[in-house]
Amino acid sequence: MKPTPTYVNKPTSDNSRDVESWALAEAARRLISSSHAKDEEAFQAALQLNQRLWTIFQAALTEEDCGHPQEVRTNLAALSLLVDRETTARLIDLDFSKIETLVSINRTVASGLMAQNDFIAAQAAKDAPVAAAPLPPGVGGGGGVPGLRPAAGMPRPPVPAADAPAVNRESLRISI
């Protein structure tokens, strides 16, 4: 039995989406690497790794506590069947030139998992309470501080209505 290979860039996160994304990207990397090297043994090992990975996904989709909506589960199951057929065909013919489908699927699903992870993190950051900056002494509490006076002529920033749509501020980023 061969020793388990060590991974150069393992995922550092315990988040399942990060691990799944990394695994798909690693499988794609191995498929590409072995096909460029024209190494049949490494190519077969990469195909078997890809097959095991998608079998794990299939098993997870059938569990009752999967957490994905039925439509997503159905689409992923159909995609995994395509991956199974394609992987089996490559294991039979060992044709290095026909890996684009598998590599493309792995990369697309991996990037989708990362995008979903980024979206969830952004939503969590948006929903997190923002700590208010402390007020200077004497402001807002009466009494006042000698030499400080309220900024009477300063315009206040507009406050959006509660039912106003969220503003996409991605285009407002400025790099210096």
Structure confidence by residue, pLDDT tens digits, 43-102 = 999 999 999 999 999 998 888 887 888 898 899 999 999 999 999 999 999 999 999 999
Give dist(CA 83, CA 106) in Å, integer. 9
Q: Contact 140/152 with Cβ under 8 angstroms? A: no
**What was the pLDDT predicted at 68?**
81
Q: Contact 54/83 with Cβ under 8 angstroms? A: yes
**What was the pLDDT predicted at 172?**
41
Token readout for 35 is 């096909």
Tell the burial category of 41 from Cβ atoms under 10 Å away from its Cβ (0-12, 13-18, 19+): exposed
Summarize pLDDT for 17-45 with one digit per residue, the tens: 888 899 999 999 999 999 999 999 999 99
Q: List CB contacts of 38: < 8 A, sequence separation 6 or more.
A: 96
The class level of CATH for 16-127 reads mainly alpha
Give dist(CA 124, CA 157) in Å, integer. 25
pLDDT at 126 over 90: no
CA neighbor of 82 nearest in space, from 98, 64, 102:
102
pLDDT at 171 over 50: no
Please report, for the chain, the start and end positions of each structural domain, with discontinuous segments joined by +: 16-127
**What was the pLDDT predicted at 170?**
45
**What was the pLDDT predicted at 32?**
96
Q: Over the chain, what is the mean pLDDT?
A: 77
Token readout for 148 is 């400080």
What's the whole-number mean pLDDT along residues 110-124?
Answer: 74
**What was the pLDDT predicted at 174?**
43
Q: Of all helices (H) and strands (E), which one includes residue 5?
A: none
Instruction: Give 112 or 31, the one with higher predicted confidence.
Output: 31
* pTM of this structure: 0.62
